[in-house]
Structure 1
Amino acid sequence: MPAHNQIKTYPLTHSNGDSIDFAIKSTGDIFDAMVDNPDMQDHPHRHAYYTLILIEEALSGVHIIDFKEYNFEGAAVHFVHPGQVHQFISKTRPKGSVLNFSRTFLMQNGISEDLIERVYLFNSYGDSPPLPIDSMQLSVLKDIIEQMQEYQNGTNYYRYDALGALLKLFLINICGACSLSPHNMQHETGSNRLIRNFRQQLEKDYQVNHKVQYYAQALSVSSDYLNRFIKSKTGKSAKELIQDKLLLESKRLLLFSDLSSKELAFELGFEEPSNFNAFFKKLSGRSPIAFRQSLRS
């Protein structure tokens, strides 16, 4: 793994450097470009935009997302959210497509981020396994992508609107196909909204407060109820999800910054550096410094 100062966060741009909000590419074309130009070999990096990767068949390789490895076991959709660290490693030419789009594109086309977020609503932080799809689902998604490519390469005055409509259709089909959790098949309910609101509150305040009671009060429920309910839906309590979030953000900071353990502790809202060190070692099995050294060796 390259040193942290070589790990980049990429904006969404055209080949000429101009900023764009949507792009679709062939995984095969990307692979060919990397073979022809070793400097383009994929290294751990992150995006300032969403990426969906449709893989049409099993591959020899691995997709690493937020320090977890996922094999290419068959047709699947891989999700990479803005800010996630990922690396796509394939030993053979992959057959599929890559969709890149910004939050601005979603907003301008009236697409709710919930269509993406609900896929992993019941997963732990940093747990982003690919969504396996069957042959019928693959056929539908490929057809949508073909239409996207036609509009992207065409001159239709409303092609931008068409791309937005097709992306929304693509996401709707993904949500319908979602089998990562039986709960994901449920319609939006009050209970689902509680999980969603908890995650949103945690995303906003994880650096400020690590207590379940704080989030329970913000959501107008008791701490005991929030812990039990979250665990009944996700397999982990609210406290464990808070810890998962803190651990993931700790790892990202250790990878992308030169902050000391003391500075990291205060950045993440720990009162004492010793508390942060003990927390990190308990959950990861290594000290923060040992973890950082393992990434840079």
Structure 2
Amino acid sequence: MNFELNDPVLNAYFRVGLGFLHESNPIAISDHTFIWNQNTCNHWTIDSLPHKVPAQTIFSLSPGQVLEVSGNNQEYFVIQFNREFYCVQDHDYEVSCNGILFNGALATPMLQLSEENQRSFNILIEVMKEEFNNKDDVQLEMLRTVLKRFIIKCTRLAKLQYADKLIDTDDLDIVRHFSALVEKYFRTMHKVGEYAAMMNKSPKTLSNVFNALGERTPLQIIHERIILEAKKLLVYTDKSAKEISFELNFSDPVQFSRLFKNVCGQTPIEFKKSGFLSMHAA
């Protein structure tokens, strides 16, 4: 059974339930999303990259990502909420998840649940379900409170299970700040120096901090976010590659096409054709 809250005044949206992401495939994620894969191992595609998702694993997706669900297994639990219901950026001081679970250096953290974890998360979900049935003036705030507890527990697990990927608190704050700025400004700002200036840091300082993670550089993160948005526009709209290049603040469509091919191995036109074919084959 699925549960949903829509507040037309606040435009707040919160939805929980089993397997409803099969309603469309691939799925352009527009809201913050948690997926708890429960009983069997699944092989799903996230942002064009294949992922093996073991049973009893929770992972999170940020707005703008694309998920492709394989097979007919619907034994996974989904929690989705929009910014108006709970803004992870504005409330990061409460849950410390931005840059770890969402919009961060950990591309797609897969959180393995022990039996104790499973019991704990199940209790929270049962409380959520109970609150969906309480149609009173404090329902929305109660659901936010339970969601906040869910996020905090996931953040703690991520810090524990990915300790080798995370860095000291000061540097982690830099990563989270940078990631949040990229999410906000990637359509108009394409250079590391622009973000560094907003953070009162040098580009070299940013590069050194991200190098400590042993993963992507700041420029790669910017480029990947631009291309992720471009992919979504190519597949889900009728806009041409040229129109998308201007929408993403490229003065020269050739420059956009070159970046797209460097990141994806395909031109925008080739990707649009392959995306159209895969959607109609599903």
Q: TM-score, normalised by structure 1?
A: 0.76
For residues 116 and 206 of structure 1, do their structure 2 counterparts lie closer, same or farther at Cα, with a shift above 3 Å needed? closer
Contact in 2 for aligned 1:63/1:70 (Cα 8 Å) = yes
Give the C-alpha shift of residue 64 in structure 1.
Answer: 3.0
Match of 2:280 in 1: none
Match of 1:54 in 2: 36
Match of 1:88 in 2: 69
Give the C-alpha shift of residue 129 in structure 1.
Answer: 4.7
Contact in 1 for aligned 2:97/2:151 (Cα 8 Å) = yes
Deviation digits for residues 94-135 of structure 1 (CA, Å, limit 9, x no counterpart): 1x432232322225xx95474354225223xxx335322222
The DSSP-based 3-state class of the residue aligned with 1:52 is strand
Deviates more, 1:246-255 or 1:256-265: 256-265
Cα distance in 2, alignment partners of residues 220 and 163 from structure 1? 37
Contact in 2 for aligned 1:216/1:223 (Cα 8 Å) = yes
Deviates more, 1:158-167 or 1:242-251: 158-167
Match of 1:170 in 2: 150
Cα distance in 2, alignment partners of residues 234 and 25 from structure 1? 36
Give the C-alpha shift of residue 207 in structure 1.
Answer: 2.5
In the alignment, structure 1 residue 21 sits paired with structure 2 residue 24: no
Counterpart mapping for 1:123-162 below 5 A: 123=106, 127-154=107-134, 158-162=138-142
Match of 2:24 in 1: 42
Contact in 2 for aligned 1:265/1:273 (Cα 8 Å) = yes
Match of 1:7 in 2: none
Match of 1:67 in 2: 48
Match of 2:105 in 1: 122
Counterpart mapping for 1:174-193 below 5 A: 174-178=154-158, 181-182=162-163, 189-193=169-173
Q: What residue ranges of structure 1 are gaps of 5+ in the alignment?
A: 1-11, 35-40
Cα distance in 2, alignment partners of residues 214 and 150 from structure 1? 47
Deviation digits for residues 186-243 of structure 1 (CA, Å, limit 9, x no counterpart): 77x3322211221222223323232222222221122222212222235222122222
Deviates more, 1:236-245 or 1:46-55: 46-55
Cα distance in 1, alignment partners of residues 25 and 143 from structure 2? 29
Cα distance in 2, alignment partners of residues 99 and 80 from structure 1? 10
Deviation digits for residues 260-297 of structure 1 (CA, Å, limit 9, x no counterpart): 23222222222322212222112211111111111112
For residues 284 and 176 of structure 1, do their structure 2 counterparts lie closer, same or farther at Cα, with a shift above 3 Å needed? same
Contact in 1 for aligned 2:131/2:142 (Cα 8 Å) = yes
Give the C-alpha shift of residue 93 in structure 1.
Answer: 4.7
For residues 265 and 46 of structure 1, do their structure 2 counterparts lie closer, same or farther at Cα, with a shift above 3 Å needed? closer
Q: What residue ranges of structure 2 are gaps of 5+ in the alignment?
A: 278-282
Give the counterpart letter for 1:181 in structure 2: Y
In the alignment, structure 1 residue 256 sits paired with structure 2 residue 248: no
In the alignment, structure 1 residue 216 sits paired with structure 2 residue 196: yes
Give the counterpart letter for 1:219 in structure 2: M
The DSSP-based 3-state class of the residue aligned with 2:233 is helix
Cα distance in 2, alignment partners of residues 197 and 222 from structure 1? 14
Contact in 1 for aligned 2:45/2:67 (Cα 8 Å) = yes
Structure with larger Rg: 1
Give the C-alpha shift of residue 91 in structure 1.
Answer: 3.1
Contact in 2 for aligned 1:118/1:184 (Cα 8 Å) = no
Cα distance in 2, alignment partners of residues 82 and 250 from structure 1? 14
Q: Kindly report structure 1 stretches of 4+ aligned residues shifted beyond 6 Å.
A: 184-187
Contact in 2 for aligned 1:42/1:89 (Cα 8 Å) = no
